[in-house]
Structure 1
Amino acid sequence: MTDSSAPPPAPAGPLSGLLVADFSRILAGPYATMLLADLGAEVVKVESPAGDDTRTWMPPVRDEVSTYYLGVNRNKRSVALDLKDAGDLAAARELARRADIMVENFKPGGLRRFGLDYESVSGSNPGIVYASISGFGSGGGASLPGYDLIVQAMSGLMSLTGEPDGPPYRAGISVFDVMTGLHAIIGVLAALHHRAETGRGQHVEVNLLSSALSGMVNHTSAFVAGGVVPMRMGNAHPSLFPYEPLPTADGDLIITAGNDGQFRALCEVLGVPELAGDPRFARTKDRTANREELRPLLVERLKQRPKMEWFHELVAAGVACGPINTVDEGVGFAEELGLDPVVTPGEGDRAVPSVRNPISLSLTPPSYRLPPPALGEHGAEIRAWLAEPTTD
């Protein structure tokens, strides 16, 4: 496909030449396909005539467009297809036939009636890497709705979040949607590697609940390996102390001591080196067991000075710590570090600020070619391309 209004081509990314048929919406799938697009893949976003649900998730907005939608849909071209319309369904099937990768997050089995399930698509396109994202897998949980909040509740994450004597809380982001999107990419790249060796595609399946149980790492391991059911501890860590916010003269500072050396360095900076030699606090397991005795001793010193003074001294001594920033402060801090967190694909009034792809590659870096598309923005172009005969 070509677009005379598109910006000059960026250096070819590592996934350049791959076509992604993106039949996903909301977050997990679109986040995954955006990252693939950043790495050079050509992504065609297939939407219903009503559009991706997140187009209507507002506020906040930028130029009357949901910033939620804008955050996960750059570098894509949009075509609106009604799968109940014969002509549109034929176009969707042709796109799937030509694609290297297809990503979908319909309920398991939901695309079968349209001939767009893995078995149907792979019949005409045996090299397809077909990624299905669901909430609870394609077995007993196939009919369950897969929103991130539901999975946060049912996986056990909410039982870990909040104060010990308070109600459970959701995480501040859709953590399992993002995690599952990343797992989908890992599966897709593994399947592409296998295809390069064998010529055969395969079905990649990921679901939010499995990603959640894997992503809760030490907490799920506590149960499956140790028989311990973790419960919420506020900002405290079950296996480390200090590893939480501690009050200073003007606000909290996150302070961590992941090993005995870091704790000794912390005690030196605070002017209480004797604590590191106290048998109650000398080792990680001792500090964790005696946190209620140790915490007030550390707070007594910390409250004597402002948090940023402590921050600079502790970091210089090799102690990991940091203030609790707001989102704007977090972006600003990344800018101070030279991480250039904001990129702006598009030109003129179509330029849309976006958060940089977190992957850095020395030879084939991510590129930011297109702003998030309007609904069906590239429909005529894509339909014309799909109508052209192919030689394969």
Structure 2
Amino acid sequence: MIVHSDRPYWVIDFFEEINAFNNCKIINIEKTDLDYLDETNILFIPILGEDELSEEWLLFFNKISSNIKNLGKTLIIFTCGVYDLENREDSVAIRQIKHICKFLSIRLFIYPLKLNKYNHNLTNMLHFINHIPNDRKSNFQFFIEKVVFETKNYPIVNNVAEINFISLDNGYENILSHYNKDKMVAKIEKICLLNDRKILNLSRLKKIDKNCISIFENIGNDHMQKLYLVSCSLHEIPFLKKHKKLRYSNLTANSISVLDVSYFPDSIEVIDCSKNIIMDIKLVYNNTIRKLCLFNNKIEKIDYLSNLNNLQYINLGLNPLISFPESIFDCKNIEHINLALTPIEYIPEEILTLKSLKILDLTYCNNLKNVSIIKKLIHNGVKVIV
């Protein structure tokens, strides 16, 4: 498909010559309400001195970027102007195009020279079009299999380890949140889970729902090792048992009220559920969990830590925890305990029996009464942070 403007009038010479070789359908941007793309599209965009997109072209790019069907399509862009010979990567128009299109990872190939009515080389133009790498002309499936969204960067091709949907724009949103397409979100998640990805990052997906969660519960994955579901408005932990090699899960900044360790596979090593509203904790026997992060929840009491017999790190900071969790004395491998910002009043002498303990964080534990224990811990070589 060729898309062009009415102006400048001489641009018709360019796309008619190109069309003689490619036989594309021709679309006038000013006489259509186009919001979809073909697999490969050739655009002739006027940049006539103002160095930014006209209202018509700005509207065009905003429309195509809001249609999920344009995911991974290819744009070959020729700019038409008379003031500059070269297309600068930092020009306003080029930056506008890249900024808008990157949410769908639309492939951009920008001819390095501006066209003008006095000088153009049809042979060079055709060479540029015909030598667009075939592996960059993608359909939806190819896009999901090969492209990684990288925070604050442009997509990276052929990264077999990770697929990351964090926004390329600001690092605080999820690309999928820009499209209210529940079925498409589920489809993307399903494909991601079925592929050989070691890392899946769907953080800040505000519209995640039970249908999306069911994807995790029903599809097993023998490759995924890390899962990020940060700030997804989750009210419960997905059942992740089928992800047999999952080692790290980050579920921070959600609305989870119950932590049930039985929902995780036997391979899990790190569970981070900080910044939730967890009140109830169910700790079944597990000998792989090394790190448990529960900072900033609603935990008043935690028992059965002895079920995590290889636990090395626990963070219970900023919880309404009054009593020291005595079951931690059965965790003989514990190295780091964080109780910062808790109203805890008393640390039992049994803490001296934890021979592996290296760090105890008591920052802003202002209600602590038996401060003498701190000197004993320091004498034993423990770093106490107060």
TM-score (norm 1): 0.23
Q: Give the number of the structure with larger relative contact order, counting CA–CA contacts within 8 Å between residues 6 or more apart.
A: 1
Higher-Rg member (1/2) = 2
